[in-house]
Amino acid sequence: IRAALIEGPLVGKHILVTSGPTHEPIDPVRYIANRSSGAQGTAIAVALRDLGAQVSFVTGPADVPPPQGVTVIRVETAREMKAAVEAALPADAAVFAAAVADWRVSSESGSKIKKEKGTLPSLSFTENPDILATVSQMSTGRPRLVVGFAAETDNVVAHATAKRLRKGCDWIVANDVSPATGIMGGTENAVVLISDAGTDVWPRMSKAEVARQLAHKIADRLSAAFA
Ligand code: CTP
Ligand code: CA
């Protein structure tokens, strides 16, 4: 049991964080997933909590355990994550660190797909809802600050800048997740923060330090009178 903080720049603020991968079922025993460990999203929830925020942490099946002292909402699929996010609103700010599967299998098989000689299964896909874009474009009840992530393997700043405008979020935390960086699944991150004020390249640092710096920036923004 952890008592709520009574001081800190985010006391009285409710912040939503999504984290981890989603799993999209193929049949009762198989699913589509991605390499997100949930480490960066978890570190962000910890950092926000430590500044006094009340954190709603909506997480897919991550490798790392969720933090203490936050409200944990566990989900599997992108559609469950979207419903959990909508149920957790309103919030003062929302940080979308989850690696949401872009596609799901159009029709999940209710029974295990069997191997049959001479035939290969084929899967058809449907696009998942974009949770970040949905919340960014809410006409009423939108969080004051909406922060997205952009995991890219090339042209990081160009892709992330376009992504910020397309989705309508306030900030995008962009990173290079090419295998050579070791960021996916590792303990460090190298990010670029993109906002309407421009592009800020951060040095490579631990995911915990990225989280602390981001949490402080969020606190500064939420305490500004005319943000
Ligand atoms: N995101 C989301 N819902 C989705 C897909 C992405 O909320 N269905 C959020 C992620 O949590 C992240 C941001 O959108 O904050 C960007 O995710 P990313 O995968 O980089 O962007 P996409 O628009 O899916 O583009 P692509 O995968 O083609 O690069
Ligand atoms: Ca994607």
Distance 151 CA to ligand 1 centre (A): 8
* Domain boundaries of the chain, sorted by first residue: 14-102+123-223
Please give the pLDDT value at position 26: 98
DSSP single-letter state for residue 194: E
In angstroms, the CA 150 to CA 212 distance is: 19
From 37, 65, 55, select the one nearest 218 (Cα to Cα): 55
In angstroms, the CA 117 to CA 124 distance is: 21
Reply yes or no on whether 155 is catalytic. no
> Which superfamily, per CATH, for 14-102+123-223?
CoaB-like (3.40.50.10300)
ipTM above 0.85, yes or no: yes
112 belongs to an annotated ligand binding site = yes
- Report the predicted TM-score, pTM, of the whole model to 2 decimal places: 0.95
Please give the pLDDT value at position 88: 98
Q: Mean pLDDT for each consecutive 10-residue tract of the chain (227 residues)?
A: 78 98 98 94 98 98 97 98 98 98 96 93 96 98 98 94 98 91 85 95 95 98 78
CB-based pocket (< 6 A), ligand 1:
18, 78, 96, 98, 100, 102, 128-132, 148-151, 163
In angstroms, the CA 223 to CA 83 distance is: 29
Please give the pLDDT value at position 83: 98
From 198, 153, 145, 200, select the one nearest 14 (Cα to Cα): 145
Which residue owns the Cα nearest ligand 1 atom 27? 102
